[in-house]
Structure 1
């Protein structure tokens, strides 16, 4: 592995932990980001010539905290941060030289980013960027806004943290619960950006999926009596259990209904069921518990050989009542199609406003599938074109292209 690859891996594996460590001590997320960016740039310049250091993370942390200290010295307005930064330098050296390593303060930073003074609409994007290192352009695509607009909103949020003097100390127990929903939402969004980037996909995005599961485990350990935290962990574990079956040997996308159950992980599925059962005993149903329950029904196919689509559709009905997101409504329509037919499902899709669904790829993929089942070939092919154009994942795009070509070919063979 050459130096550039090692820098890339260090960015993927250590960025969030390094940023959380530096931000907590400088109390300035934007300054910590700038310092860390300089450190990675310096690594790209130096490592190919001087060699990769024995401890890349230690090298990056040292370079970044020197940049922070230099910046603070040149800006007298930050004099108060100097003692904390100098202490951080000593602490970092001690941690990195010791057996325990740097530690992980990302969970603390997640709850700091969920502070009530920060606009609720930017909390999840802020966590995705600062804690998990997702760039503004990728976040913007998830939230259907322009990269420039998202970058401006993120900059304002970081300035709010600095100017309002939001404390970087761990929130008290009374502050954790009100912020929990925003934190869970961010962890799930991070998982969603990486869970399907498997064989042939973007490996850096795929790295977010295990990171999200790890953070979910930390949240459950911190708040073991919160059922939604366990529900989120159960949901992600069920999805992780099917990772090996989502692509075939050539890297082609395999839809859930066609996946080989023998490739699913029994241990992850069992752990997911245990988390979901524990959550259900609290008697407080929520979005993530319902989503995990839906995945639990799908997981039963490995045991009994079929999917109870009526149960899936009922669970989606409950989910839409609690959290009527576009994804939940499209998922409900997909389940209704299997349980009660394409016409009933298509009627649900027609209820969605065009402006809302215009850029949502799963909507168009499902619509194409339903129209094809009903024999509306021309409309189905048009919907396939929309879905293909909106697909970021190459394997999914190839799958949809194959479906469209198969439909067009079969329609030409039919007698007129």
Structure 2
């Protein structure tokens, strides 16, 4: 037994955060029935909460859970009149022998299952975030601006569709890969981005971001000749390298230009550069590759060259003209041509009036232009749209400075 310093509930919660998707993928791969695998795993966690306090936390809690869940899963499959109260036939001596590190990571297979053409395209990324990467349905709903009940219903329907369509739990052959790869990469990126926004606490954030980096790198190695996979892995590596410098001790966001580089992780910066070089060598420009190149420019020693950054942002907007990319380009344009040019570019972006980064950028550029009253108003709007606590605190402090300079 192990983890004497943790309660059974705390250790179970820790395992759920770190290994839920991995355990679920192992179970679901046996029958292709995700809801039934979820039920079996939930039952295993429930039994852990009643068993571990008296018997002690197993040395290998993941092995204990997957063994109990698999037995439960098989009981349900074998009989509709399955046991509900009798103890499961599990030999306690065998539980710690289950070595999850010796089991292939089935999450990649499950991700491609969720991206199968039989699944509606609009639900593929949410389904992967929820099922494979363990995000609560409410978190996923918030990220996609959908009511929680609506998202829950869509997820249930998608899981049923996987079962009824008998989607095979395998990584698709190369000719079928392109049709599914984009959704898989978006889900991995979404895991990092949503986690960054919605999960509080650096330990949890770092753990989940590291999982996203692992999956992205594994995908890149698996596919070998996909620049977008290498670009995504590079992008997450660069971002994760700066996680310790992103938030000050008082909980306030630290902008990239003001971060203490001594807190950056040089090994992750090197990993990012290596992955980015591999993406570039494949000779096809892609969205994540360009985003990683932008991060690389910021991670290089000294001040990044604004003209080079603008060229990269221009290329990114051509490849992927998202709201975020266009707002970021406006900010860099302001560095090259002045704040008025940036404000004009912002004004020309459809949908920017409902986009928080656009209001934060507009406030900054208005303040730089000396329009303090308008800047104060823009900061207020940006703050009203901000859910991330460190970012909110930073904007509130910037707004206070601008208001102190505004016309009485």
Per the normalisation by structure 1, the TM-score is 0.87
Secondary structure of residue in 1 paired with 2:132:
helix
Residue 392 of structure 1 corresponds to 387
Determine which of 344, 347, 351 is the counterpart of 1:347. 344
1:298-356 CA distance string (max 9 Å, x none): 112xx2x21212211221111111111111111111211222222211222222334x6
Residues 96, 102 of structure 1: 8 Å contact kept: no
Query: What does residue range 227-266 of structure 1 map to in structure 2 within 5 Å?
Result: 227-266=227-266
Count of matched residue pairs:
395
Residue 120 of structure 1 corresponds to 121
Shift of 1:26: 2.2
Distance 2:71 2:260 in 1: 52
| Alignment CA distance shift 1:33-1:278 (3 Å) | same
Residue 160 of structure 2 corresponds to 159
Shift of 1:17: 0.7
Distance 1:74 1:341 in 2: 71
Residues 132, 190 of structure 1: 8 Å contact kept: yes
Residues 194, 207 of structure 1: 8 Å contact kept: no
Please tell me the root mean square deviation across aligned C-alpha atoms, in Å: 2.6
Determine which of 72, 77, 81 is the counterpart of 2:77. 72
Residue 318 of structure 2 corresponds to 321
Distance 2:39 2:203 in 1: 24
Distance 1:184 1:15 in 2: 20
The more displaced of 52-61 and 11-20 is 52-61
Distance 1:270 1:98 in 2: 31
Residues 108, 170 of structure 1: 8 Å contact kept: yes
Residues 195, 240 of structure 1: 8 Å contact kept: no
Query: What does residue range 55-70 of structure 1 map to in structure 2 within 5 Å?
Result: 55-70=60-75
Shift of 1:94: 8.7
Query: What does residue range 65-214 of structure 1 map to in structure 2 within 5 Å?
Result: 65-75=70-80, 96-98=97-99, 100-195=101-196, 201=201, 203-214=203-214
Residues 39, 60 of structure 1: 8 Å contact kept: yes
Residues 95, 102 of structure 1: 8 Å contact kept: no
Structure 1 residue runs of 4+, over 6 Å off? Answer: none
Per the normalisation by structure 2, the TM-score is 0.89
Shift of 1:405: 1.3
Structure 2 gap segments, 5+ residues each: 1-5, 83-89
Residue 51 of structure 1 corresponds to 56
The more displaced of 47-56 and 265-274 is 47-56
Distance 2:359 2:404 in 1: 20
Residues 60, 96 of structure 2: 8 Å contact kept: no
